[in-house]
A = this chain, B = another copy of it.
Amino acid sequence: MARPRSFDPDDVLEIARQVFWQKGFQATSLDEITAASGVAKPSLYAAFGDKNALFLKVLDRYHDGILGWAERVLAQPGPGREAIRQWLTGFIPYCSGEKGQRGCLSINSATDGSLDQAELRKSIERYNRRLEELLRARLRADRAQFRKGFDPDVTAHTIMVVHAGLLALAHQRPDSKRVKAVIDQVMGLLA
């Protein structure tokens, strides 16, 4: 029919994610994405729309990756307590050391003053809601394993807060031991 695309859109989204994650939305120019991906601007515009739309696609892809992983970890058999601990522990590499410096793409972009706030907030809110639902569902299902009066809904939200806090402080590249100590202490709420 016509000339085929010379690149895989998903590859480009992956590369764009790395650049956006490292430098932030505003500080990343489309020329940098072109340089990193080898795809020229008109092709980017044709495939993804403008810079905002491209970023939202990158962000949704990022969210989907984390959600997919959370679904797998939180669905595992055994005590819910251990599933949640494993989920939190899995973030340690992203919350500490050199890799932690970039923080969380989702949290970072929430502060970006030049993104289209309406669409962005919807995307982030959907992500957070889904994540919290996964936690809540597991805590409710395993309710019997916890102490009397245990509130799965509040606890799910508290875990979300701790999770966000660890990623927000990740920019300081804390020692992974400190991150682990916090997780261990917070796990005390699940008893």
Q: Residues of A at under 8 Å CB distance from B?
A: 22-24, 26-28, 103, 107-108, 110-114, 121, 124-125, 128, 151, 154-155, 157-158, 160-169, 171-172, 178, 181-182, 185-186, 188-189
- Residues of B with C-beta under 8 A to A169: 128, 160-161, 164
The DSSP consensus for interface residues of chain A is helix
Contact among B23, B111, B154 for A185, CB-based, below 8 A: B154
- Residues of B with C-beta under 8 A to A155: 185
- Residues of B with C-beta under 8 A to A158: 162, 182, 185-186
Contact among B157, B160, B165, B185 for A164, CB-based, below 8 A: B165
Contact among B113, B124, B181 for A27, CB-based, below 8 A: B113
Whether A107 pairs with B111 at a CB distance below 8 angstroms is yes
Whether A161 pairs with B172 at a CB distance below 8 angstroms is no
Whether B113 pairs with A28 at a CB distance below 8 angstroms is yes
Minimum-distance CB pairs A-B, first 5: A165-B165, A27-B113, A24-B113, A161-B165, A108-B111
Whether B103 pairs with A110 at a CB distance below 8 angstroms is yes
- Residues of B with C-beta under 8 A to A121: 171-172
